Amino acid sequence: MEINKIVTGALDENCYVISDDKTCLVVDPGDDFENIKEIIGDKKVLAVLITHSHFDHIGALRNFLKKKSVKIFKKSSLEEKLYEIGNFKFNCIYTPGHSKDSVTFYFKEINSMFVGDFIFKETVGRYDLPGGNKSELEESLKKIKDYPEDVKLYPGHGDETTLKYELENNEYMK
């Protein structure tokens, strides 16, 4: 599997395209649909995964809603369990704190988590916005600590990191 990052919109939101042969998943299509479409190329989009519904993460979602064959995975339609679509397998993990509807998508086979604005390199997402909650964020961080330390974290903004690096360098994870 291949992971491509497209930085979109005025807030430099990270959209990810996870590809496997002729199919792909899109995580958080924030904006700049034409740039996302260029990375997708001729692959079939099986699903769009939404880590949370803040405007900077869903701006280009409307372009995918037009296609009836594309599934949309967001908290309101998800349980904390394993999902399989095409060759892709991922777990949904509820990780509220930044927002009420924050979820993390864990792909065990590629040792990767798409964390949205829940965790950033050396910090966490804001919890002072409407729907944010510091104690919920702290509980979500406890959940994530149980995963393999070498798991790669793909945040909604900024650089990728690993759980091990965050455990050692992120004051919120100590």
The CATH number assigned to the domain holding 41 equals 3.60.15.10
What pLDDT, on a 0 to 100 scale, did the predictor assign at position 12?
Answer: 97
Would you state the pLDDT for residue 64?
92
Give the pLDDT mean for 96-123: 97
Tell me what pLDDT residue 35 has.
Answer: 97
Domain count, the chain: 1
Using the CB atoms, write b or e for 130-160: b if 16+ within 10 Å. ebbbeebbeebbeebeebeeebbbbbbbeeb
Which pLDDT value is given to residue 164?
98
> What is the pLDDT confidence band of residue 69, given thresholds at 50, 70 and 90?
confident
Q: Average of pLDDT values for 32-54?
A: 96
Cβ neighbours of 63 (radius 10 Å): 16
Confidence of residue 174 (pLDDT cuts 50, 70, 90): confident
Domain of 9 in residue numbering reads as 2-173
Average pLDDT, the chain: 96
